[in-house]
Amino acid sequence: MHAMDSSKSLCHLHFVFIPLMAPGHLLPMVDMAKLFARRNVTVSIVTTPLNSIQFRDTIDREIQSGSPIQILHVPFPNAESGIPEGCESADTLPSVDLFENFFVALRLLHQPLEELLENLTPMPSCIIADKHVMCVADIAKKLNVPRITFDGTSCFTHLCNRNLHEAFPDEDKFLVPGLPHRVELRKCQLPPEFLKTNTKIDTYRKEVRVVAEKTHMVVVNSFEELEAEYVKEYQRVTGRKVWCVGPVSLSNKDELDKAQRGMRNSNDLSQILKWLDSWPPSSVIYVCLGSLNRATPKQLIEIGLGLEATKRPFIWVLRGAYGREELEEWLLEEGFEERVKGRGLLIKGWAPQVLILSHSAIGAFLTHCGWNSTLEGICAGVPLITFPLFAEQFYNERVVVQVVETGVSLGAEAVVHLGEEEGKSYVQVKRESVRDSIEKVMGEGEEKEKMRERARRYAEMGRKAIEEGGSSYHNISLLIEDIIMHVQG
């Protein structure tokens, strides 16, 4: 049984969570919904039927343990948006061209969502929605229900974006204005919202930003100890209420929760764990570049050769992303898999990341710096080797390398924007850089030990933040109290 808020029954409150249909957005919101339901607030997660398959089992277990939580479905508008049946999330789109259709689908959710929310009992006390599901702003206004925005990034990112929109630099290389730390970036490393293009995708992004700017309340998957100065400064310059309630992945306490988090297809878990058990503590490199992996096949080959050159054991997750055939051909024809057999475990498809990272054999995490992966790496207490690819990932690299100093950069120079993968077959990071960066965090040496110690310390802070008495636990209480005031008001 989960620890509930026994002080007062809050079941009359009804929190509705509406995630974006993409793993990096969906999974943290499901984790967050679980944390709220464990505080005796009635919780509904609204998504489409195929998206709910990934987390149905874990929600069923929450219900069995007494949590007042449920999943509600809205149909995904496949036919109307021109997206093939069977695809209901960003990572399952068969081609990059369909992203425009995906944004059409998000707009088409307006009516079914409104009908569902209007007829809910009890009425929603508040709606926590991903900022990309823009129609929620109108629906919440119509129903007179408070809307809280979830963005899926850090306060560091929020602050960087806001400050750069206020004062965009002329130079190619610049210091981000108004930050507590001295952070240098280049224009080619900025998120796509700073691109001056007029595609339909960019138009949608601009609209998302305009709607998000009208938000007064924001919930963030982070914890205050990680980026305290950025939380304060972001609140100060925007006048928004900002609640850090993470790291939400730590809501998955037992092995089964960790194993099934976002599971699409079951790789043999026992085999992965058995393999990890065969290695000494902190000796294995874990490599995963995210569910929307945009590294080109040529780049992935360099990563593979760099891993081989370390002579160290590694797990390499090869998502079924862009360029898969070319990569698989190389793995086979060049005999890579055969050469690294024994010390290199290749996982093709989905991998239980939270479970793998929590294993004592993992000594470093080579990551694309998506915010979820960055936080999961920090919570695992291992040094990170950073290879940002797109979106706000260069910001996240700066958090790791400059703010908390628990990782090293692979040296990527520029963002790979959506749809540009085809034309850019170049390699950003050579195999030698991969090998050398890994050596900077693995093995002996005082500097490496200091980095590992910092990594362990932040993991401990993250664990304490979501436990009773911790900063994120307290923030959930404050947010719930805020909604009670609104309901009573």
pLDDT per residue over 367-421, tens digit each?
A: 999 999 999 999 999 999 999 998 899 999 999 999 999 999 999 998 876 666 5
Query: Which of 12-26, 52-66, 226-240, 324-338 is predicted least confidently?
Result: 324-338
Mean pLDDT of 277-289: 97
Reported as half-sphere exposure (CB side, CA atoms, 13 A), residue 9 has a value of 3
Q: What is the pLDDT of residue 487?
A: 87
pLDDT over 70 at 321, yes or no: no
CA–CA gap between residue 246 and residue 338 (Å, rounded)? 41
Helix (H, G, I), strand (E, B) or coil at 135: helix
pLDDT per residue over 249-278, tens digit each?
A: 999 887 778 777 766 555 578 889 999 999
Mean pLDDT of 139-149: 97
Domain boundaries, the chain: 14-251+466-488, 264-462
pLDDT per residue over 122-140, tens digit each?
A: 999 999 999 999 999 999 9
pLDDT per residue over 465-484, tens digit each?
A: 999 999 999 999 999 999 99
The domain defined by 14-251+466-488 folds into Rossmann fold (3.40.50)
Reported as half-sphere exposure (CB side, CA atoms, 13 A), residue 292 has a value of 25
Same fold across 14-251+466-488 and 264-462: yes
Q: What is the pLDDT of residue 5?
A: 45
Q: Which residues of 93-102 are buried (b: 16+ CB within 10 A; e: fewer)?
A: beeeebbbbb
Closest CA to 25 of 63, 55, 61: 55
Q: Give the DSSP H or E segment for 39.
A: none
Reported as half-sphere exposure (CB side, CA atoms, 13 A), residue 96 has a value of 12
The domain defined by 264-462 folds into Rossmann fold (3.40.50)
pLDDT over 60 at 51, yes or no: yes
Mean pLDDT of 335-349: 92
Report pTM: 0.93
Average pLDDT, rounded, for the chain: 91
CA–CA gap between residue 380 and residue 260 (Å, rounded)? 18
Higher pLDDT among residues 200 and 476, named by residue = 476
